[in-house]
Chain A
């Protein structure tokens, strides 16, 4: 079973920030939070990951609550090309060959 809970769908206006929430209340101390997205049935694309500190890269920001039971992926200026299914995944960080377990994700629709 997936260890995360995400809303099934969200809308966002083009140019606005998209904030995608994720609950992972059973996360353990050595598990990271990963975000991937899948655009129109292409292969999933890595976005960002973090352990407990907030992270930012050229694609997005990841905000993890202090108790690590939830997180938010922020796309600062959403474009139409950001329309995709976004997956939040918890994954052990140092286990060799540790695989990703995908849940249903959030379908983000960016509208003009």
Chain B
């Protein structure tokens, strides 16, 4: 049981390049999230998904797209990278208990992205 795994762990992009970050979870969780964290700041939500085939915008969605084609995977895409997107990206997942209560979220170890 690996939990939440992010790929890659590090990446350097040139301005204008595109890339996809992969988040995979093996806990059969319904809900998945992408956050970014800038130096000295808290995490900010980019996009999230409440189930396979569904996505929604978070607090800072501009410049990013996401897809949830399979329940276990949540992809974050940058179509044309900008220096302002230099950040650490975290993925998380959670689920609802049978009581309807949200569980705690489980986080991956992050992807450090630098756009030059």
B33 contact set on A, CB distance < 8 A: 99-100
Number of interface residues of B (CB under 8 A): 31
Residues in B55-112 with C-beta less than 8 Å from chain A: 56, 58-59, 88, 90, 92, 96, 100-102, 104-110
Known contacts A41-B88, A91-B102: A99-B58 contact under CB 8 Å: yes
Could you tell me the distance between the alpha carbons of A46 and B45 in the complex, rounded to whole angstroms?
A: 17
A2 on the interface (CB 8 Å rule)?
Answer: yes
Count how many chain A residues have C-beta atoms less than 8 Å from C-beta atoms of the other chain. 26
Of A12-20, A21-29, A70-78, A102-110, the one touching chain B: A102-110
| Chain B residue with Cβ nearest A1 | B59
User: In the complex, what residue of chain A is closest to B58 when comparing beta carbons?
Assistant: A99
Given A99-B48, A99-B58, A101-B45, CB of A46 within 8 Å of CB of B102: no
Residues of B close to A96: CB separation below 8 A: 30-31, 50, 96
Which residues from A are CB-within-8-Å of B106?
46
Q: Which of A26-47 contact B (CB under 8 A)?
A: 32, 34, 41-46
Q: Which residues of B contact A92 (CB under 8 A)?
A: 102
State A103–B45 Cα separation when bound (angstroms). Answer: 12
A43, A46, A98: residue with the most chain B Cβ atoms closer than 10 Å: A43
A41 CB → nearest B CB, Å: 6
7 further contact pairs, Cβ within 8 A, besides A93-B102, A101-B45: A2-B42, A44-B43, A95-B102, A97-B31, A99-B33, A100-B105, A105-B42
Instruction: Enumerate chain B interface residues (CB-CB to A < 8 A).
Output: 4, 30-31, 33, 35, 37, 41-45, 48-50, 56, 58-59, 88, 90, 92, 96, 100-102, 104-110
Which A-B residue pairs are the 4 nearest by beta carbons?
Answer: A43-B107, A97-B50, A102-B42, A46-B104
7 residue pairs of the A-B complex, CB under 8 angstroms, read: A41-B110, A42-B110, A46-B104, A100-B105, A102-B35, A103-B42, A105-B42
